[in-house]
Chain A
Amino acid sequence: MPTEWVVDSYTMCGAFYHDFLLYRPPAAWGLDSAAYTGRLTWGMNAYEKFIRKYAITGKPLIAAVWTSAERRAD
């Protein structure tokens, strides 16, 4: 299974804390891009459906696992 390293020190808004985020690949890679910021409470079923809707197009896609060490108030 292909993997890529995307390490960045850029600090994103705390609202994205441990939510899912699909990485927008550089256009030079020639890949399709999509964004999904489903909240954790939406659950994995919603995320699975989201991935499925892209998988059925047959277009290439890279999905990102975005993890922040930032602590959120809630």
Chain B
Amino acid sequence: MSSSGTDTPCHMWDFAFQNSQIAIHHVFDVPTAFYWTDAGGHTPFEVVTTDTLLNRITQWAMATTQTLAAAPPSDVNAPARDTWSSGWDDLLVKDASSGAYTFAEDFRTSKFLDEADGTGFGNLEWNGGDLAFHDVEGKRVQEATIRWKFRGHTGGESFTQIALSLKTLIPLLSSGEATLHIASNVNGPWQQVGTLCIPLLELPLVTCEQEGSVRFQTPVQTFWIQLNLSGHFGRAGDPAIRIDDFRVDAR
């Protein structure tokens, strides 16, 4: 272990990684703190008069802090913030007893950010139990989409009958809407899955169990399901809609 001498040529000292990290913080408006040290237990202010690596970090941190402090808030409409992608498709689980392939999302974790592609990130709020859609001031598009890609495990399985279910909870006076679409090609055409909505009045929410199914005319090995969320809040602080318990059954 060396100290902070000038004998430390290293690819990182152009601060590219730190700057990339800060760029991500800026996208999401996350306050940033700077922490730096060296192996010798020196504070940065002990060595500011010498040409050391620690001194270079100090200068970079000071300059970066000034730049960040002057930076405007990030744009809620910026694609880097508003969209995300996953690349996952191995989401179906085979039920040994029925032979069906199933998928369940209870929104108790944020794995939907790993498993699905999405838009409208700024409209979404996840609380560890369900997922809420809020209309947000300043957003040009008040809609969110979550898109999952499904395929069989070996790539050889094919499916014709897809059944979907989703639980929605709409606060009284809010006007949220959740619609499910399915396609055998990511470029469409997308088919809205007919929903049989059974509203249950559970003050202060209207709970709705949506179900629907679609039959492909020819078997497909891969299919996509897209959930569209939109709407407006009724009372201040309420979301437009909450969703929970999304299930897919493919045969």
Tell me whether B68 and A57 are in contact (CB under 8 A): no
Measured between beta carbons, the chain B residues less than 8 angstroms from A56 are 110, 113, 121, 124-126
Number of interface residues, chain A, beta carbon within 8 A: 43
B39 shortest CB reach to chain A, Å: 4
Contacting chain A: which of B2-10, B182-190, B224-232? B2-10
Segment 33-74 of A: residues with Cβ below 8 Å from B:
40, 44, 47-49, 51-58, 60-72
Measured between beta carbons, the chain A residues less than 8 angstroms from B114 are 49
Interface SS of B by simple majority? mixed
Tell me whether B125 and A53 are in contact (CB under 8 A): no
C-alpha gap A71/B113 in the complex (Å): 36
Measured between beta carbons, the chain B residues less than 8 angstroms from A47 are 21, 24
Known A-B contacts A3-B68, A20-B21; the reply to A11 vs B31 at CB < 8 A is no
Segment 90-122 of B: residues with Cβ below 8 Å from A:
110, 113-114, 121
Q: Is residue B154 contacting chain A, with contact meaning CB distance below 8 A?
A: no
Tell me whether B31 and A52 are in contact (CB under 8 A): no
Measured between beta carbons, the chain A residues less than 8 angstroms from B57 are 67, 69
Q: Is residue B26 contacting chain A, with contact meaning CB distance below 8 A?
A: yes
Among A8, A61, A69, point to the contact of B31 (Cβ < 8 A). A61
A28 shortest CB reach to chain B, Å: 15
Q: Is residue B164 contacting chain A, with contact meaning CB distance below 8 A?
A: no
Tell me whether A67 and B121 are in contact (CB under 8 A): no
Q: Is residue B38 contacting chain A, with contact meaning CB distance below 8 A?
A: yes
B77 shortest CB reach to chain A, Å: 15
Tell me whether B126 and A57 are in contact (CB under 8 A): yes
Segment 114-145 of B: residues with Cβ below 8 Å from A:
114, 121, 124-128
Q: List 5 A-B contacts (CB under 8 A).
A: A11-B40, A64-B33, A64-B35, A66-B35, A70-B1
Q: Which 7 residue pairs are nearest across A and B when measured between Cβ atoms? A: A69-B4, A69-B38, A70-B39, A2-B31, A69-B54, A71-B2, A4-B33
With A18-B12, A47-B21, A51-B25 known, 6 other A-B pairs at CB within 8 A are A3-B32, A3-B34, A4-B31, A11-B39, A44-B21, A63-B33
The chain A residues found within 8 Å of chain B, CB to CB, are: 1-12, 14, 18, 20-21, 23, 40, 44, 47-49, 51-58, 60-72
